[in-house]
Structure 1
């Protein structure tokens, strides 16, 4: 168990309150005090990194098709927020959220470049956890494009003298190893959703790479966090949305908690970590 407060990462932005991966979701997360933002990136047919989780646009836009086969202009012509209106009308989202976004922020496609620009202009430090999605027809080009963008912002190096606010994550061990070769000092996270021996994790990814298990996997294997940390690896847990799940993370010694509900998760942590 840890007595230190884990970092709270807004999963796809404040995605319980706003349409996931829209600028609205990230502005909301920033306003609500999230320590970091999580985004999934995919490559368009004309080589742009866009913040979209699914392989297709069907679930989170008013269009259809595969992201990797569409050009940026086509994707920007879609509405990325209307699907969330039903949830808001039903009262599933908090009415106490600060009104910091416009309707266009809730409907426009968000590129990785735009999200990076927003974070770069903030008056407080906020980190970004970038998940590269695989498998993809573009293979390692996704990581190479990410590195190119990081270089544009001067974020491709992570040292005490020159810290980068960005860390790369993936469920693909190959992608993680590829990024280690491309940017040796960048912080990396290997995401896992199924049980595997901790020794196998050592075979999959290099030393120093953090491990990111599903919170349910962690709950079912209470000593998993201890075993991971014993190998000198940080523990990043997803997706954590209830007080019970926060307790699992604290008991496991997690250094990072990824949540759809960053404000509520921060509040729960503050209550749980109040000195006796």
Structure 2
């Protein structure tokens, strides 16, 4: 029988920011596979729409920084994006480059493939999906994300705490679109300004959590209690330094987004 201590939720949980992106190229199969092996409680990704309507995991507006090609994601087709390698720029260990079909450890990762990977893992892991704005496709991004989650059967969880997916954005309008269409799906309103996150915006759009940067939270640790008083959790990004991990634990952050999930998990266990 479990002891009472075993039933206590132990915060913070660790979210692999773009996968284990300190050690593997961000937003690649290699990065997420390593994050899952390292015990991440959740994984985070940024999504954009291609010109032919596919959701792909790319942070920047262009692929110039993270691939062997160049161009604006929203102006390229899935096939064009799949011809590129997304790992050659990274200093980590060499992994398998993509083949002609875009497969491989450092090929283009679609949101469809990432969700399937997370749901097939041998333990429950949450996926935090950030929709990027402003973009040329506007609200279509959220509609496509919800349609994908519906196909996987995770768009309408029994409760926010049991949800396998969380949708986030710096755009309040985007968070509101998700909340209105899928009221049980947890959402995070991201931001860098304490006044914005601590004000009425999160209430107006129905966000279930707020997401300040570690710099903002350092300056305004009261955001944790402020959110909790309104029934919200706090998701903090991007937390890599040991003293910042300790700080987040001490003030009661629920979810830590980090590029180094293994090291962050180890630090929390040691603490």
Deviation track 1:58-78 (CA, whole Å, cap 9, x = no partner) reads: 000011111000000000011
Distance 2:70 2:84 in 1: 9
Question: Conserved in 1, the CA contact under 8 Å of 2:142 and 2:177?
Answer: yes
Question: Conserved in 2, the CA contact under 8 Å of 1:18 and 1:106?
Answer: no
1:108-123 pair list within 5 angstroms: 108-123=107-122
Map of 2:173 onto structure 1: 174
Runs of 4+ in 1 over 2 A off after TM superposition: 2-5, 101-107, 160-164, 199-205
Map of 1:37 onto structure 2: 43
Distance 1:247 1:67 in 2: 37
Map of 1:6 onto structure 2: 12
Map of 2:199 onto structure 1: 199
Please state how far the C-alpha of 1:35 moved relative to its aligned partner. 0.7
What is the aligned residue count? Answer: 258
Distance 2:151 2:9 in 1: 38
Distance 1:145 1:3 in 2: 33
Please state how far the C-alpha of 1:205 moved relative to its aligned partner. 2.4
Distance 1:189 1:59 in 2: 27
Map of 1:52 onto structure 2: 58
Partner SS, residue 155 of structure 1: coil
Partner SS, residue 183 of structure 2: coil
Residue range with higher mean Cα deviation, 73-82 or 157-166: 157-166
| Unaligned residue ranges in structure 2 (runs of 5+) | 1-7, 99-103
Greater RCO (CA < 8 Å, at least 6 residues apart): 1
Distance 2:20 2:160 in 1: 31
Question: Conserved in 2, the CA contact under 8 Å of 1:168 and 1:187?
Answer: yes
Distance 2:160 2:152 in 1: 16
Superposition CA RMSD, Å = 2.1
| Unaligned residue ranges in structure 1 (runs of 5+) | 90-98
Q: 1:161 to 1:141 in 2, by over 3 A?
A: closer
Map of 1:139 onto structure 2: 138
Map of 2:92 onto structure 1: 88
TM-score (norm. length: structure 1): 0.88
Partner SS, residue 37 of structure 1: strand
Distance 1:83 1:190 in 2: 31
